[in-house]
Chains A and B, each alone.
Chain A
Amino acid sequence: MSRRIELHDLSCYYGNRKVVDRITMTIEPKSVTAIIGPSGCGKSTLLRAINRLHETLPGARVEGRVLLDGDNIYDRSIDVVDVRRIVGMVFQRPNPFPTMSIHDNVAAGLKLAGVRRRDLDDIVEKALIAVHLWNEVKDRLRRPASALSGGQQQRLCIARAIAVQPEVLLMDEPCSALDPISTLAIEDLIAELKNDFTVVIVTHNMQQAARVSDMTAFVTVDGPGHPGRLVEYADTKTLFSVPADKRTEDYITGRVG
């Protein structure tokens, strides 16, 4: 299960400050789409608008539409809780619930959704297997999640996100707080995840974007204080080998940013 995401003229604001300016793009199901760009270009904000997490910050609001298989998630009739269950998210810093055990962390979303207790263990196991964490933690499922290493915690967070069977998985620089080996493990995992989910990943690391994604979007700003705009959105190979826009070329060859 996975869905097509369409952004139509999507703008994001913090109070009066516009940080993302009228972005329109279509993200295909069962693919990995990377959003790259210099820091402060609004790429994380853009990502957070796709599961309506942006609006939880004070003064933040969104204009435009985000369609999930044709349904506008910002429509009045759509419940935000529904959106977030369908669109899961993994954050920059691993954020397992520190007081919960490994098992309970993975089961957290399931319990909210009312999955029956006897089904829990099974789903938790599958999710942990899917993120290649099962063998490492199967003997200490009841131990606190805070005892895991950073890379393990991040994989735990991915397991927590996919356990509720979302259709889209958003990843906000999921490797930026991790060591190279953990990063590699997560990148391999992303390649597998696209078999089941539509994955959108924000990264400031161009090599990573080139390695993991099918499509790449380049977002940048005209200058400090300006909102982020979509410059180029293309097949990853094309974007990195023959960029159509001068700014993209400057960025990927390291001349700016």
Chain B
Amino acid sequence: MTTATPLWVHRRRYRRRRWTARLAALAVGSAFLLAVVPLILVLTYTIARGLPHFSWVFFTHSLAGVPPSQAGGGIAAATIGSLEQVGLASLIGLPLGLAVAVYLAEYGTGRLATVTRFLVDVMTGIPSIVAGLFAYTFIVISLHQGFSGLAAAIALSLLMVPIIVRSAEDILAGIPRTLREAGYALGLRRWRVVVSIVLPAARSGLITGAMLAVARIAGETAPLLLTAFDNSYINANPFRGQQSALPLFIYNQAQQAYQPAIDRAWAAAATLVLAITGIYIIARLLTLRKSGAHRV
């Protein structure tokens, strides 16, 4: 082949290409910074505003009898409510989600599996307020249960199931075939292979997935507005009567016009953020330990 274009064309153009490349690197780098700026701002600001209002009273008392204009009171009722609602939601959502994931990963080859996989993915798009409306129409008014922690837990579990299914199916599918075959070679039935070989092997990944899902639903507010409905008093029974929850506490205190209420909102927000990022970091460290073990 003959040289159709003199080399100097490349040279001169190359300076521009190098500048474009540098600008692009700068642009994507700043895009990343821009994306994490809100994270840093929100986390530091929330903790800076919330920490000064942490106190013994704040963690051990409810808001009973404390008007919005006065300092005092705390998140005891909200914490109990949150723990019960998230706990109940996990009790429903984790087994259901895991079962669906087992179905998809171990048996899922047919039409139903394809449809389920797709619709589970679509379910991740259900807005949390719609999950709340569903629990409200179903539990609160159709079953005449009234507002309760249980209704909140149902709404939360609806949001939790698709998250669990997706992460668990992914982890189960990553369990090497040879491990399963080893089980079959020992004469184990399929369900025994799943229960005593596949699930234990996937344990740490499943736990991480479950923790991330819990972190995700623990901060949901919208569904609780329509189901738990908030309560200034401690109601430890999640099956009957209105309940408070941390996100509800934050939301309702934030809307008050008085500084003490706003301070309480920040303190509760700091509590919630610390709890959720704590769960998140522990979950991630678990996977780190696991993958580290793999590498060795």
Contacts and interface: CB of A to CB of B under 8 A. Distances in A.
**Direct contact between the two chains A and B in their complex (CB within 8 A):** yes
Interface of A: 1, 79, 81-82, 85, 112-116, 119, 122-123, 126-127, 130, 162, 165, 196
Contacts of A85: 10
A165 B3 contact: yes
Q: Identify which of B4, B16, B17 gathers the most chain A CB atoms within 10 Å of its CB.
A: B4
Top 4 closest pairs, chain A to chain B, by CB? A114-B13, A113-B10, A115-B5, A123-B4
B13 A113 contact: yes
Given A1-B3, A113-B9, A114-B14, 18 more contacts: A79-B18, A81-B14, A81-B18, A85-B10, A113-B10, A113-B14, A114-B13, A115-B4, A115-B5, A116-B5, A119-B4, A119-B5, A123-B4, A123-B5, A126-B2, A126-B4, A127-B1, A196-B1
Nearest to B9: A114
A114 B11 CA distance: 9
Contact of A115 (B9, B12, B16, B17): B9
A126 B5 CA distance: 13
Contact of A112 (B3, B5, B12, B17): B17
B1 A130 contact: yes
A116 B5 CA distance: 8
A162 B4 contact: no
Nearest to B17: A112
Contacts of A82: 14
Contacts of B1: 126-127, 130, 162, 165, 196
Contacts of A116: 5, 9
Contacts of B12: 114
A123 B14 CA distance: 20
Contacts of B17: 81, 112, 114
Nearest to A112: B17
B83 to A, nearest CB: 43
10 contacts: A85-B10, A113-B5, A114-B12, A114-B17, A115-B4, A116-B5, A122-B4, A126-B1, A165-B3, A196-B1
A109 to B, nearest CB: 11
B23 to A, nearest CB: 16
B27 to A, nearest CB: 19
A77 to B, nearest CB: 14
Contacts of B14: 81-82, 113-114
Nearest to A196: B1
A144 B91 CA distance: 52
B24 to A, nearest CB: 14
Contacts of A119: 4-5
